[in-house]
Chains A and B, each alone.
Chain A
């Protein structure tokens, strides 16, 4: 079946630095990928839709300049959290669509 690989699984960074999260579709091409944020004991909140070769579409209230998304190939989308602050600490999950939607294993970001 479809496999989505997400790295890193955990990352700790200092306030003010940037961190990049990668999402790869391993056995299929994904023209569209999705980035979610999940707070503890809460549901998944869609942040943006990543389209290969074009700009991402951000959901209302999501800062484009803070959460940079690049979808440069049909198998890779990246989310960069820029100038991270403690409030950006969260669980970030990507998803790619092939028939259904396959999710990555998530990235636990802690900003200290």
Chain B
């Protein structure tokens, strides 16, 4: 089955700087890669996603890049703000499979 690895597990960034979180996946058939933000005591919220026919996607301060050859994808947050502090999860879904496989999570702390 699919295996998703996520790094780093914790990340501290000065406010205004950029943050990058990386994930690798094992199943070359995976074609959908969402990123979720989870605040304490709440469910995950989708912040951006990318499909395998696209190499990069951007939404204001958030961007995701996908390298299918290397089987890795990354989340980029620019101009970080204190409210960006949360746990971020990447996930992958293989074609023909409804289930998402999640990474282990990254605790992002923005230092004011």
- List chain A positions with a Cβ less than 8 A from chain B: 4, 6, 32, 34, 41-44, 46, 49, 91, 93, 95, 97, 100-106, 108
A103, B36: Cα distance in complex, Å: 10
- Verify A34–B43 contact, CB threshold 8 A: no
A102 to chain B, nearest CB (A): 7
B98 to chain A, nearest CB (A): 6
What is the interface of chain A mostly: helix, strand, loop, or mixed?
strand
A93, B100: Cα distance in complex, Å: 14
Q: Which residues of A contact B25 (CB under 8 A)?
A: none
Q: Which of A44, A100, A106 contacts B89 (CB 8 A)?
A: A44
Interface residues of B in 60-112 (CB under 8 A from A): 89, 98-100, 102-105, 107
B90 to chain A, nearest CB (A): 10
Q: Which residues of B contact A32 (CB under 8 A)?
A: 98
Q: Which of B41, B49, B104 contacts A43 (CB 8 A)?
A: B104
A64, B64: Cα distance in complex, Å: 37
Beyond A43-B104, A44-B102, A49-B98, whether A100 also contacts B41 by CB under 8 A is: no
Q: Which residues of B contact A104 (CB under 8 A)?
A: 43
Q: Which residues of B contact A105 (CB under 8 A)?
A: 42-43
Whether B45 sits at the interface, judged by CB under 8 Å, is: yes
